[in-house]
Amino acid sequence: MPLINESHPEEFILLGFADRPWLELPLFTSLLIMYPIAVMGNVTIILVSRLDSRLHSPMYFFLTNLSFLDMCYTTSIVPQMLFNLGSSKKTISYMGCAVQLYFFHIMGGTECLLLAIMSFDRYVAIRRPLHYTLIMNQRVCILLVSTVWLTGIIYAVSEATATLQLPLCGLNKLDHLVCEIPVLIKIACGEKGSNELTLSVVCIFMLAVPLCLILAFYASIGSAVFKIKSSKGRKKAFGTCSSHLIVVFLFYGPAISMYLQPPSSISRDQPKFMALFYGVVTPSLNPFIYTLRNKNVKGALRNLVRSIFSFK
């Protein structure tokens, strides 16, 4: 690796798939197709949830926040990926790397907690239907979302700042597509055991604890659903919960495999494929998962399209 006099280089070289250049064109094409789909899909969910009065409920309030997070999540990394894949100069400035690091982890950390809040909302709706509007009132929803955002920001700022302070001894090659905390810790020189331990402990609270809460909520929901005598009622309850469960497993699976192990033990290509999955694939699929499996959203979409054409 080339050495630079200063501890922190002026720019990083993102190696990506430099050893497999034949992958770059298909990946560039895929991202060029998926990124607009992800943005348009999430913008559509936000518009439909805001414009249709029938969707002015806590469930769709949280879904709007999830769509906004996914849109920002992909935007924080995909434009840089496209630029590097379509150019021979595969670099990012040190400041650009720092900004990407903060934004990417703010959105990721906030989404971890928001998915848990969404499962709590489903738990209250099914287990406490008579008290749902009282418990999940507007004030409580805003307080929950504000707490989630604040916690995500605190997590990202503290972890990213601690990582950026690690000495790099002039090493400026990242074997990755984006700037991520485990990858930066991996190339740091000197003592970094405390950073690895801190990252693992924090990620237990940001990933493992919310996931356990989600599974506990859905275990309780499942027992309640099976007690419903009407098959139509059971189908409706499973329909509203299954979309969220699919999103949970698509997001948490790759994130846990990436962050709940020491950076030094992460294999070479794992960060690249994981970043592509939870940073691009999952946000692109989320709007379709919620739209295709939700009659209310499909109905609101039809009404929106009909109103647009009737206006024209």
Over the Cα atoms of the chain, what is R_g? 21
Domain boundaries, the chain: 11-304
Neighbours of 36 (CB within 10 A): 12
pLDDT on residue 3: 39
CATH topology of domain 11-304: Rhopdopsin 7-helix transmembrane proteins (1.20.1070)
Confidence of residue 249 (pLDDT cuts 50, 70, 90): confident
Say whether pLDDT at 228 is over 80.
Answer: no
pLDDT at 90 over 80: yes
The CA distance from 116 to 121, in Å, is 9
Tens-digit pLDDT profile for residues 171-221: 788 888 888 888 888 888 877 777 778 887 888 888 889 999 999 998 888
Of 4 and 301, the one with more pLDDT? 301
Banded pLDDT at 1 (limits 50, 70, 90): very low
Q: Please write the tens of the pLDDT for every residue from 234-248.
A: 776 676 677 788 888
Torsional class of 87: left (φ above 0), alpha (ψ -120 to 50), beta (otherwise): beta
Both tokens of residue 220? 């309780």
- The distance from CA 172 to its chain's CA centroid, rounded to whole angstroms, is 27
pLDDT score at 7? 61
> Is residue 283 pLDDT above 90, yes or no?
no
Amino acid at 57: S
- Over residues 294-298, the mean pLDDT reads 72
- Report pLDDT for 2: 41
Helix ranges, the chain (H): 24-51, 58-75, 78-85, 94-127, 132-135, 138-164, 181-187, 193-203, 209-225, 231-259, 270-276, 282-292, 295-311
Element (H, E) at 14: strand 11-14
pLDDT tens digits, one per residue of 149-180 = 999 999 999 989 988 888 877 778 888 888 88
- In the block, tokens 């098959």 appear at 231
Of 31, 7, 6, which Cα lies nearest the Cα of 178? Answer: 31
The average confidence (pLDDT) of the chain is: 82
